[in-house]
Amino acid sequence: MTQTPAARHYSEQQAGSLKTGDQLLLPDGERTAEIQQAELESDDFGTPALVLASLSGGGTVRIAAGSTVKVVDASPDAVTQLPVPENHAEEADSAPAAPAVVVPPLPAIPPAVSGPGAEELALIPALQGTPESVVEGVAQAHPDSVGVLLLADKLAKGINFKSGSCLKDLSDLAHELFIALKDPDGSLAVADLLNVLPFDGNPGRWASVEASLALSSYICHQDGQEARAGVYEKLLRSPETQETDPFKSRMNAKVRQRSLNEPNLYDKEIFRSIDNSNHEAEREWRLLRLESLLFLRAHGGSETVGLGELQRRISNELEAVRI
């Protein structure tokens, strides 16, 4: 029901941060209405452009995403809302309702996850020696593995944690140890060189850390180290807690949930490789699919893929790439 704004206090906020329950001052500047649902639409370039605010009394208000709007201040100091005069209520009831726009519901937004505390981080073993000595140790444990030796030779020149290519080599080495050589301990030792690195805002470098954390989470779950797996999962989601702007945080959550619900599992590429009898290409695409599945597993699944299905598919992919 719309109400008159007399004797009310208002606060200004960005349209993109509107939420269900907000009492919005309508464009006529004389009435307010409760928002039943707010949906954010982007333009063709993916930039947030328009907010569709469905009103509890019917109808939808269209607001530019960057606009500033007024909502009724819900703080204790705000003046108590006045009742609607009877004649105004009759006028409101007799007025034709604006045509309603059917808007799909917003995807579920995962709750913010705080980073692990000191006690949790202690579950990750402290580095023994230098990063280079860890790599040298796994190379000595697998002298017949060409893949491990090639990566170890590149990393032996010096490990630079600010180098994206160096981080990628470490992540590849951790995956090679677990996937091809079935060495979870060696894999975790290498992965932990990456796992303790904070998110520095660079998506390229973080992709290698992210893949390492997802792999480590899976290994620990398989080994019954649930608490340690949980630490890796919190670290994996740490970038989600760094955005303080409510509008950007909401947009990021929406994009993130969509990527979890619609992961790229490289089906077309794998089927094409099978049709062409290109086993090497098929394995490479399956490794990428495995990374996507491990990422989903570390997030606890999604709205479209549950943990049971993920576990089954990860096992299938591991079997396929280990042959």
Per-residue pLDDT of the chain (323 residues; tens, 9 = 90+): 455 555 578 888 877 778 888 888 888 777 788 887 787 776 555 566 778 777 776 667 778 877 888 888 765 444 444 444 444 444 444 445 444 444 444 444 444 456 788 999 999 999 999 999 999 999 999 999 999 999 999 998 899 999 999 999 999 999 999 999 999 999 999 999 999 999 988 999 999 999 999 999 999 999 999 999 999 999 999 988 777 788 888 888 888 899 899 999 999 999 999 999 999 999 999 999 999 999 999 999 999 999 999 999 999 999 999 97
Both 162 and 261 in one domain: the answer is: yes
- What's CA 17's distance to the chain center, in Å? 19
User: Which domain, by its residues, includes 301?
Assistant: 122-322
Rounded Cα–Cα distance for residues 201 and 167 (Å): 15
CATH number at residue 68: 2.30.30.30
Both 132 and 265 in one domain: the answer is: yes
Both 157 and 202 in one domain: the answer is: yes
Handedness of CA 200, 202, 208, 210 (dihedral sign): positive
Coil/strand/helix, residue 262? coil
Residue indicated by tokens 């080994």: 223
Both 169 and 287 in one domain: the answer is: yes
Both 90 and 130 in one domain: the answer is: no
User: Is residue 105, in this structure, part of any structural domain at all?
Assistant: no
DSSP string of 278-322? -HHHHHHHHHHHHHHHHHHHHTT--SSS-HHHHHHHHHHHHHHHH
User: Is residue 100, in this structure, part of any structural domain at all?
Assistant: no
Total domains, the chain: 2
User: Is residue 312, in this structure, part of any structural domain at all?
Assistant: yes
- Residue 84's CB: how many other CB atoms inside 10 A? 16
- What's CA 21's distance to the chain center, in Å? 26
CB-CB contact of 322 with 176 (8 Å): no
CB-CB contact of 49 with 85 (8 Å): no
- Residue 23's CB: how many other CB atoms inside 10 A? 20
Both 189 and 58 in one domain: the answer is: no
User: Is residue 99, in this structure, part of any structural domain at all?
Assistant: no
User: Is residue 87, in this structure, part of any structural domain at all?
Assistant: yes
Both 188 and 280 in one domain: the answer is: yes
